[in-house]
């Protein structure tokens, strides 16, 4: 089972959840009703295997699932081949907008613009294109029924966290002069 497990985690471009792994492994003819506990044991065995110094990659839990990543000591080498990919950073406006969505979600464009004090159209569009936020519905009780934005699973993966509770507390996000980076607004 461990080879199937490693093949699944290797082949995916996003973190693979325990539930997804279980469903796929249980669909393989020679395995029926493998439990999550058994899979967790195999995942831990694979993690231990790839933590050995002979491997340049490892299995980590990130974004609510498991995935292969390169070890930090190989970042510079890998960056040379993926330079263009690593240079596609978010603009300060997009980062600010993403932070507002993360901490205030669900949130409308108007909510974001009231906090930022400027238009958020371009930043929201970039975040949607990068699949870091998504449209989760409409605010039915507001005039015009504006779209509501929330963060995606890819956002969690982008930050290397498993859920929103792992975000730093707003009180921890201060500038050198002690000002809060993100205004904490009351949700409507």
CATH of domain 89-172: 1.10.10.10
Cα–Cα distance, 20 to 43 (Å, whole number): 13
| pLDDT greater than 90 at residue 148 | yes
Which pLDDT value is given to residue 109? 93
Q: Which residues contact 153 (CB under 8 A, 6 or more apart)?
A: 14, 15, 63, 64
pLDDT range class, residue 13, cuts 50, 70, 90: confident
pLDDT range class, residue 184, cuts 50, 70, 90: very low
Which pLDDT value is given to residue 127? 92
Q: Which residues contact 182 (CB under 8 A, 6 or more apart)?
A: 99, 100, 103, 115, 170, 173
Which pLDDT value is given to residue 173? 66
CATH of domain 2-81: 1.10.10.10
Report, as an integer, the average pLDDT of 137-154.
Answer: 90
* Residue intervals in the chain for CATH 1.10.10.10: 2-81, 89-172
Q: Which of 39-48, 73-82, 161-170 has the highest mean pLDDT?
A: 39-48
Residue 166 or residue 82, greater confidence = 166
Report, as an integer, the average pLDDT of 162-188.
Answer: 63
- What would the pLDDT profile of 72-131 be if each residue is shown by its tens digit? 888 777 767 765 554 567 888 999 999 999 999 999 999 999 999 998 989 999 899 888
| pLDDT greater than 50 at residue 187 | no
3-class secondary structure, 55: coil
Among 111, 87, 89, CA closest to 100: 111
Among 143, 97, 103, 100, CA closest to 121: 97
Which pLDDT value is given to residue 28? 84
Report, as an integer, the average pLDDT of 40-68.
Answer: 90
| pLDDT greater than 50 at residue 188 | no
pLDDT range class, residue 151, cuts 50, 70, 90: very high
């Amino acid at each position: 089972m461990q080879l199937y497990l490693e093949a699944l985690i290797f082949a995916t471009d996003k973190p693979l959840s325990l539930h997804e792994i279980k469903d796929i492994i249980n669909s393989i003819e020679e395995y029926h009703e493998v439990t999550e506990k058994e899979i967790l044991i195999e995942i831990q065995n694979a993690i231990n295997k790839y933590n050995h110094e002979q491997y340049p990659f490892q299995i980590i839990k990130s974004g609510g699932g498991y995935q292969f990543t390169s070890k930090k000591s190989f970042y510079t080498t890998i960056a040379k081949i993926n330079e263009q990919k690593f240079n596609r950073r978010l603009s300060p406006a997009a980062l600010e907008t993403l932070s507002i969505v993360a901490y205030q979600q669900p949130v409308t464009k108007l909510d974001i613009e009231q906090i930022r004090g400027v238009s958020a159209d371009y930043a929201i569009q970039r975040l949607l294109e990068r699949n870091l936020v998504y449209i989760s519905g409409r605010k039915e009780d507001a005039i015009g029924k504006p779209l509501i934005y929330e963060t995606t699973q890819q956002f969690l993966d982008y930050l290397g966290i498993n859920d929103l509770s792992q975000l730093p507390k707003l009180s921890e996000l201060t500038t050198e002069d002690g000002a809060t980076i993100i205004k904490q607004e009351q949700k409507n």
